[in-house]
Structure 1
Amino acid sequence: MRRRWIPAAAALAAVLTLAGCSGSDEGPEDRPSVVVTTNILGDIVENLVGESADVTTLMKPNADPHSFEISAQEASRMDRADLVVSNGLGLEEGLQQHLDRVADAGVERFTVGDHIEVIAYSDEEAGGAPDSHFWTDPQRVVDAVDALEPQLLEVEGIDREAVETGAEQYRAELAALDEEMTTAFAGIPQDRRALVTNHHVFGYLAERFDFRVIGAAVPGGTTLASPSAADLDELASAITEAGVPAIFAESSQPDRLVQVLASEAGIDVEVIELFTESLTEPGQGAETYLEMMRANTERIVDGLST
C-alpha cells in the first residue's frame, strides 16, 4: 500500500507545482514593481498605474515621514524594485540610508522634489532649507504627476495605456480639488487668513491660496527638532498680535505643544487637528490624498471663519 501512494503523491506534487507556475504568470509578482516611500506619494502613484504595476508603499498610515523605519523585507523589496519613488527635499530623514544604498546599487530612482518649483521654509531656524511639503498645493501635485508619468512609462513591462489613462483622470480630479479649495478659502476674511501649526507644513498652501504663515511650534522643517521656551514665547506673542481664532495640530504628531501655545497666548484659541504629512487608515478621515485635502480645507475654513 505504501508503494502505491508514493507515485500518487509525486504526481499530485507535480500537478500542484505546474498549477503554481501557471498561476504565477498572472500574479502580481510578474507585474513591474514600484516602491514608494510615503503614503501620500503611494496613493498618487497607485492612481496613475492602477493594476499595471505592483506598488509597495513603505510608510504606514498615521506615521511620521521624517522618522518612520522599514523592515529587512521592505529593504530587500527596494533592492529588487523596477523603480523607487521618493519625496526628497529632506523629508524621509530616517530612510535616507536605504535610498542611498539602492541608488549606489543601480536601482532606478525618481525623486519627485527634483521636478517641482520648490520654496524655502520661511523661518530663520531652517536656514533657507527647501520645504518638502509640496503636496499641500494641488497644482504642484499636478506637476508631480506630469513628471511621474513619463518615468513610469519607461518601466519595462508596464501597461502604457493604463498609465496614460490613470494620469489623465487623476489630473482632472486634482483640477476639481484645486477649484473646490479656491472657492472654499475665498470665504475666509482676509484678516483671518493666518496659519499656525505645530510643524511647518503649509508654505505651499499659503503661497497658492493667499494665507500668511504666522509660525510653528517646532522650528525648521523637521518634526525631529524641539522648540525652546523662547521659541514658544515668540510664537505666542505672534498669535496674540495676529488674533487668529484657531491653530492647527497634525494628526501624526501630538498636539501638546499647540495646546501649550493656546494657553500661553492668553486668548481663546481653538486647537484643530489636520491631516498633513500622512494618510490614515480607512474610516479615519484621510484614506486618500484627495480625501485628506478636502478634510483639511473644511477644517481650516471652519476654524478661521468663526
Structure 2
Amino acid sequence: MVAALSRRALVSLPALAALSACTATGSDRSGIVVTTNILGDLVRNVVGGRTEVTVLMAAGADPHSFGVSAQQAASLERAELLVHNGLGLEEGVLSHIEAAVATGVPDLAVGERVDPIDYTADETAGQPDPHFWTDPVRVSEAVDLIADKVIEHVAGVDADEVRASADAYRSQVDELHADAVAAFEQIPPEHRKLVTNHHVFGYLAQRYGFEVIGAVIPSGTTLASPSGSDLKDLADAVAASGVPVVFADSSQPERLIEAMAEETGLDIAIVPLFTESLTEPGGGAGTYLEMAAANTAAIAEHLAPQ
C-alpha cells in the first residue's frame, strides 16, 4: 500500500514541475497588461513610463470581437497587474482573463468599480453597460482606481510619483468634462436626442441629459445584427422624434444606417464618432482626451440650433 502511494507520488512530480514552470509566481511577474487601448492610454498616463505597460488591443480594434494570440495569453499570466474593462466588453478575451486571475494575477475590472449602469432598451435591457468611458466623470474615478492598484501591486514604483501623475491627468479629464458641460448647454433639452449605430452612449446620455432614441444595431455589442423589423422600429422612432442625424462609429461601415434611410425615405445625416477604440496618432482619436473632445464637438455641432 505504502509502496503504491510512493510510486504515484513519484509519477506526479514531473506533472507538478511542468505546471509550476508554466505559471509565473509573484516574483517572476513584471509589468502591467491592459486589454483595451482606451484603458491602456489611462494606465500609461498614470504610470508615466515608470514600468512596462503592454496593451493587447491595437488602435482600431473592436473590443467585442478581439481575440488574443498565444503569446498575448501567456503575457497575461506573467503580469504584476492586469487591467481590463469588465462588464462583458472583452468577449473574446474573458476566458484568458479568468485563467490569469485564477493563477493569482492581481486584476482591476475598471468598469465594475465606477458605478456601472444597465442598458435600458431592446434585448439588452437590464444587462450591464460596459461603455463607461463616454462619461469623463467616471473616467476621472477610474484614474484614481488605477493609481491605487499600481501602487499596491507593481514593484519599484514610487507612490508619490504615481499619485502626482494621476492627479495631473485627472485634472485634464476634469477639464474635459467642464468643456462638455459648456458645449452641451448650447443644445436645447428638446434637441438632446441620440441615435447611434449601436448602444454605446448611455453614460454620456445620463451625465449630460440626453435621451437615447435608439440604435441601428439594437445591442450593446457590435457582433449583433439588426432585423428588418428592428430597422423599421428605429426609423419610426427617428421620424417621430425629428432627429436630424445618426451618429455612427468611425470604424464601421455605414451601410446599415443607409439602408434604414433608403427603406423609410428619411433624410438623415450620418456623422462619425469614435466609440470603441482609439485611432493611430493623427487619426482624430489618438488619445482618450482627443477622442472624447472630438465626440463632444461633433455632437454639439450637429444638434445645436444653427
TM-score (norm 2): 0.87
State the match for 1:27 in structure 2. Answer: none
2:97 to 72, 81, 99: 99
Structure 2 distance, partners of 1:238, 1:107, is 47
Structure 1 distance, partners of 2:263, 2:169, is 43
Deviations 1:91-137 (A, max 9, x none): 00011111111011111111102211111111131141000000000
State the match for 1:274 in structure 2. Answer: 273
1:61 to 40, 48, 59: 59
CA drift at 1:36: 0.3
Structure 2 distance, partners of 1:299, 1:109, is 35
Aligned length: 277
CA drift at 1:142: 1.1
Q: Is the 8 A contact 2:40 2:55 kept in 1?
A: yes
What are the ranges of 5 or more consecutive residues in structure 1 without an aligned counterpart?
1-29
State the match for 1:238 in structure 2. Answer: 237
Q: Is the 8 A contact 2:37 2:58 kept in 1?
A: yes
Following superposition of structure 1 onto structure 2, how do residues 140-219 of structure 1 map, counting pairs within 5 Å? Answer: 140-154=138-152, 155-219=154-218
Structure 2 distance, partners of 1:191, 1:46, is 39
Structure 2 distance, partners of 1:134, 1:143, is 11
Amino acid across the alignment from 1:105: T
1:131 to 98, 119, 129: 129
Structure 1 distance, partners of 2:250, 2:63, is 12
1:283 pairs with 2:282: yes
State the match for 2:50 in structure 1. Answer: 52
State the match for 2:7 in structure 1. Answer: none
Structure 2 distance, partners of 1:37, 1:88, is 10
- The runs of at least 4 aligned residues of structure 1 exceeding 4 Å deviation read none
Structure 1 distance, partners of 2:215, 2:177, is 25
Deviations 1:220-266 (A, max 9, x none): 21111111111110000000001111111102322211222233342
SS at match of 2:92: helix
Structure 1 distance, partners of 2:98, 2:222, is 22
Q: Is the 8 A contact 1:63 1:252 kept in 2?
A: no
The worse-fitting range, judged by mean Cα deviation, of 46-55 and 120-129 is: 120-129
SS at match of 1:93: coil
Taking every aligned residue pair, what percent have the same amino acid on both sides? 53
Q: Is the 8 A contact 2:248 2:273 kept in 1?
A: yes
CA drift at 1:31: 10
State the match for 1:229 in structure 2. Answer: 228
